[in-house]
Amino acid sequence: MKRFNWSRFLAILVKEFRQIARDKPSVIMAVGMPVIMLLLFGYAVNTDVDHMPTVVWDQSMSQDSREVISSLRNSTYLDPDFYVRGYDEIRRYLDGSSARVAVIIPPDYGKQVQGSGNTTVQVLVDGSDPTAARAAMSAVQTVGFNTGWEVQADRLAQQGGATPVLPVQVETRVWYNPDMKSLVFNIPALIGLIIQNVIAMLTAFSLVREKERGTLEQLVVTPVRPTELMLGKLVPFVIIAFVSLMLILSVGILWFGVPPKGSLLLLILLSMLFVTTVLAIGLLISTISRTQLQAMQMTILLILPSILLSGFIFPRETMPLFLKGLGGIVPLTYFLVIVRGIFLKGIGLEYLWKETLVLATFSLVLFFLAAKRFRKNLD
Amino acid sequence: MEKTELAIDCRGLVKRFGNYTAVEGVTFQLPTGAIMGFVGPNGAGKTTTIRLLCGVLMPTEGHATVLGFDVKTQPEEIKQHIGYMSQKFSLYEDLTVRENIDFYAGIYNLTGTFAAERKQQVIERIGLNERLPQLVQSLSGGWKQRVALACALLHEPKLLVLDEPTAGVDPVSRRVFWQIIHKLAQEGMTILVSTHYMDEADTCDYLGFVFYGRLIAFGTPAEMKAKENKANLDDLFIYYVEREAVDDPRNKGNR
Ligand SMILES: Nc1ncnc2c1ncn2[C@@H]1O[C@H](COP(=O)(O)OP(=O)(O)OP(=O)(O)O)[C@@H](O)[C@H]1O
Ligand SMILES: [Mg+2]
């Protein structure tokens, strides 16, 4: 009586497949949406800061001032495209956001450089967006330091000395994402986020729809067991999610050119583990909510914190302990470590076993919670 | 011995939702093989009583056994042995008639050739042969109810519980439906059916009058009419409603 029954489970499974096959919009949403979302967001969440519009007030109009300006352009961080005279015009450019950076070269710049004096180039930075401002500042600092160093070297050479060498140098080398392209960092995470959102929404709707249409009222009067019902509803979505995952991975790898450094098989396996966790969340939501609208709201409530707390946008290392802890109960957090690890670092289970274990625990606990919450009565 | 001959035995069943009492001390015994009609105005508590007996609502007070199983402790056993049709149509509209029947056959754990035979028997008995490939949403009200009945009969239930099965169904379909019900009863099935149609109620073996959550009268239709000296059930129904409305505490405030 109390045992899991395959005939009942299969009946649910077959019924779900038939309903899904007839529900074209859902299929399109499940398979098409993730790809469209990845294409859109893949371009939108590009956090690389470069080619910032820059306004220049060159009061010197000398060979040397032109050299500084072209060094700035060569850094690729600044595009000194606007030339003005006076602070009023500079203010207009910055106020109107036509430029993010202003470079002011003093009238005696050429004279001082050619002679043996000192001079100062003033740079104004729009600090509204701190990330962009920091990038601009470090770019002009570097250009300024290099220019100063070259001028000094020339002067020493002219005095007949040897070309000086900096006594201490720092040599940097960037691992994993050597070009530091944010796309490479973001695409794997986006794949996780999008799969989570679409699949959670679809599953959340599946049981609530039965409540809304009244078919659940008939089901609770039959001997069907909650686990049979839940598993029967879960499995078709696992398959849909698999197709959808394959598509979105292909787009990420082929279209955006972000191939995983590690094992593709492991990536797919662990992605499916994550999908199962998300499905269980969706089921849990659908046992709690009474209408599709409620289910939708609850899914959104889940998605928002997962974007902010999982380390998708902000690194978790710098979060206050409380928020970091909150992020710890978001499954996406662990999956992001996994996808980024496999995509960027090419690491395997020897490093990712902890996250894998956490996700597996999450999915089991959530699934049993959902089956438990779904009691077969109408109270 | 006597207990097994009762299909339903309920004593002092009470159901409260918050502080609203939907069912108040319902007591009756229904022998096996009888048809019992449940009548009463809208909101009287018929559906709630039925749900209590099906094991999907927990009674706040009182006891009931259905087919010898306790509604509080053995709801799953009850579900295995009863057929149920809810008041609101509740099959899958986006599946065909056959797919719905297949689904419920699976849900009641019917397999192999036995399942095929049972399905065929029920399909023939209800006359669904021509409708099998049709999507349920394209069926008329009368046909939908017949499909729902078919799904409730697949596992040969000992007790059939029908909540307003003929609401919104045309007279011809209603007659066909009741012919099937009487046939099933002759074969030994116990049937509990709620209805607002007095002509249907008149053909039941027993009647229960539900009013504001209380079962105010129970007996055979003939006994009940004789007791209050009424010529037909319509008159009896109106008599009860008028008598009880005066007594009802909830109406005091309005007077
Ligand atoms: N889950 C619930 N929560 C709160 N109140 C409920 C619930 N279910 C039913 N009720 C209330 O209990 C009362 C009895 O409802 P019930 O559905 O049993 O009446 P009924 O006799 O079947 O009426 P009808 O002829 O309209 O089907 C109604 O007033 C209803 O609003
Ligand atoms: Mg009712």
CA of B142 to the centre of ligand 1 (A): 24
Quick one: average pLDDT of A101-128?
Answer: 91
DSSP A325-344: HHHTT-HHHHHHHHHHIIII
Quote the tokens at residue B254.
């309005």
Where a domain ends, among A175, A204, A222? A175
What does the domain layout of chain B look like in residue ranges? 3-217+242-254
Q: Which residues of chain B approach chain A closer than 8 Å at the C-beta? A: 51, 54-58, 75-77, 79-80, 82, 84, 86, 88-95, 99, 102-111
Q: Establish whether residue B43 lines the binding site of ligand 1, counting it when its CB lies within 6 angstroms of any ligand atom.
A: yes
Residues A254, A170 share a domain? no
In a domain, A15, yes or no: yes
Question: Which of these, B199, B193, B119, B207, lies nearest to B156 by C-alpha position?
Answer: B119
Question: Which of these, A233, A182, A180, lies nearest to A206 by C-alpha position?
Answer: A233
**Is the pTM above the cut of 0.90?**
no
Q: Establish whether residue B236 lines the binding site of ligand 1, counting it when its CB lies within 6 angstroms of any ligand atom.
A: no
Poorest-pLDDT segment among A221-235, A260-274, B93-107: A221-235
Single-letter amino acid, residue A16: E
Residues A164, A93 share a domain? yes
Going by the DSSP 8-state scheme, the letter that residue B57 receives in this structure is S
- Cα A111 to Cα A3, A70, A117, A157, B9, distances in angstroms: 93, 19, 8, 19, 110
| Complex-level ipTM | 0.87
- pLDDT-derived band of residue A281, with 50, 70 and 90 as boundaries? very high
Residues A145, A271 share a domain? no
In a domain, A208, yes or no: yes
Residues A160, A17 share a domain? no
Residues A163, A189 share a domain? no
In the block, tokens 């077969």 appear at: A376
Residues A151, A284 share a domain? no
CA of B107 to the centre of ligand 1 (A): 28
Residues A104, A62 share a domain? yes
pLDDT in tens, A15-53: 999 998 888 887 887 888 889 988 888 888 777 788 899
* Cβ contact B86–A218 (<8 Å): yes
- What is the Cα–Cα distance from A319 to A305, expressed in whole angstroms? 14
pLDDT in tens, B196-243: 999 999 999 999 999 889 998 899 988 888 888 888 888 888 888 888
In a domain, A1, yes or no: no
Residues A78, A40 share a domain? no
* Structural domain span for residue A150: 52-175
If 0-12 CB within 10 Å is exposed, 13-18 middle and 19+ buried, where does residue A165 land? Answer: exposed
* Cβ contact B77–A1 (<8 Å): yes
Residues A159, A84 share a domain? yes
Residues A125, A161 share a domain? yes
Single-letter amino acid, residue A84: V
In a domain, A136, yes or no: yes
CATH code of A145's domain:
3.40.1710.10
> What is the crossing angle of helices B112-126 and B141-153, to 10°?
150
Nearest CA in chain A to B111: A7
Going by the DSSP 8-state scheme, the letter that residue A162 receives in this structure is P
Question: Which of these, A169, A175, A162, lies nearest to A145 by C-alpha position?
Answer: A169
* Cβ contact A214–B88 (<8 Å): yes
Where a domain ends, among A117, A144, A175? A175
Whether the CA torsion A290, A295, A296, A301 is positive or negative: it is: positive
Where a domain ends, among A127, A143, A175? A175
Residue A304 neighbours by CB distance under 10 Å:
10
Q: Quick check: helix, strand or coil at residue A363?
A: helix
Q: What is the pLDDT of residue B255?
A: 38
Atom of ligand 1 nearest to the CA of B45: 18
Residues A160, A256 share a domain? no
pLDDT at B110 over 50: yes
- What is the Cα–Cα distance from A324 to A302, expressed in whole angstroms? 16
DSSP β-bridge partners for residue B20: B17
Q: Establish whether residue B22 lines the binding site of ligand 1, counting it when its CB lies within 6 angstroms of any ligand atom.
A: yes
Residues A208, A96 share a domain? no
* Cβ contact B58–A15 (<8 Å): no
Q: Which CATH architecture has domain B3-217+242-254?
A: 3-Layer(aba) Sandwich (3.40)
pLDDT in tens, B157-192: 999 999 999 988 889 989 999 999 999 999 999 999
* Domain count for chain A: 2
